[in-house]
Chains A and B, each alone.
Chain A
Amino acid sequence: MGPNEHTTVQTPSTEPSSSSEFTTFMRAYQDMVFSTAARLAGNDVQAQDIAQEVFIKAYENFEHLRMSPAAGGWLKTVATNLSLNYLTRYRRRWRFFSEEPSMPDVPIADEFVADLSGDERRALIEEALRRLPPHQRVPLVLYHFDDFSYQQIAQRLGVSLAKVKTDIARGRAALLPVLKSHGIEGAAQ
Chain B
Amino acid sequence: MTDELETTVNRALREVPLRRAPSSLESRVLAEIVRRAALPWWRQDFARWPRPARVAFAVMCGSLAAALLAASGFFAPGGALAGAGTRSAGLWLPWARSALTLIDVARELDAALVRAMPPDWLYGVLAAAALLYAALFGLGAAAYRTLYLNLSSAGDSRS
- List chain A positions with a Cβ less than 8 A from chain B: 1-2, 5-7, 9-14, 19, 23, 26-27, 30-35, 38, 43-46, 48, 51-52, 55-56, 59, 94, 96-99, 101, 104, 118, 121-122, 125-126, 129, 140, 144-145, 169, 172-173, 175-176, 179, 184-187, 189
Interface of B is mostly: helix
Chain B, residues 6-25, CB within 8 Å of chain A (1/0): the string is: 11111111101111111111
B32 CB to closest chain A CB (Å) equals: 6
Contact A118–B17 (Cβ < 8 Å): yes
Contact B1–A189 (Cβ < 8 Å): yes
Given A12-B37, A186-B4, verify A46-B17 contact (CB < 8 Å): no
B113 CB to closest chain A CB (Å) equals: 35
Bound-state CA distance A104–B12 (Å) is 22
Contact A179–B12 (Cβ < 8 Å): yes
B70 within 8 A of A: no
Contacts of B39 in A (CB 8 A): none
Contact B12–A30 (Cβ < 8 Å): no
List 15 interface pairs A-B (beta carbons < 8 Å), by A numbering: A5-B20, A5-B23, A31-B18, A35-B21, A43-B155, A45-B159, A48-B22, A51-B21, A52-B25, A96-B141, A97-B141, A104-B157, A118-B17, A172-B9, A189-B4
Bound-state CA distance A121–B17 (Å) is 10
Q: Which of A13, A30, A121 contacts B34 (CB 8 A)?
A: A13
- List chain B positions with a Cβ less than 8 A from chain A: 1-2, 4-14, 16-34, 36-37, 137-138, 141, 144-145, 149-153, 155-157, 159
Contact B8–A35 (Cβ < 8 Å): no
Given A5-B20, A122-B17, verify A10-B30 contact (CB < 8 Å): yes
Contacts of B11 in A (CB 8 A): 184, 186
Contacts of B25 in A (CB 8 A): 30, 34, 48, 51-52, 55
Bound-state CA distance A159–B67 (Å) is 45
Given A30-B25, A43-B152, verify A9-B144 contact (CB < 8 Å): no
Contact A34–B21 (Cβ < 8 Å): yes
Contact B12–A27 (Cβ < 8 Å): no
Q: Which of B1, B10, B30 contacts A9 (CB 8 A)?
A: B30
Bound-state CA distance A55–B33 (Å) is 9
Contact B144–A94 (Cβ < 8 Å): yes
Contact A11–B24 (Cβ < 8 Å): no
B49 CB to closest chain A CB (Å) equals: 14
Known: A30-B25, A34-B21, A51-B29. 20 other contacts (CB 8 A): A2-B20, A9-B30, A11-B30, A31-B21, A35-B19, A45-B159, A48-B22, A48-B25, A55-B25, A55-B29, A56-B29, A94-B144, A97-B137, A98-B141, A122-B16, A125-B12, A126-B19, A140-B9, A145-B13, A186-B7
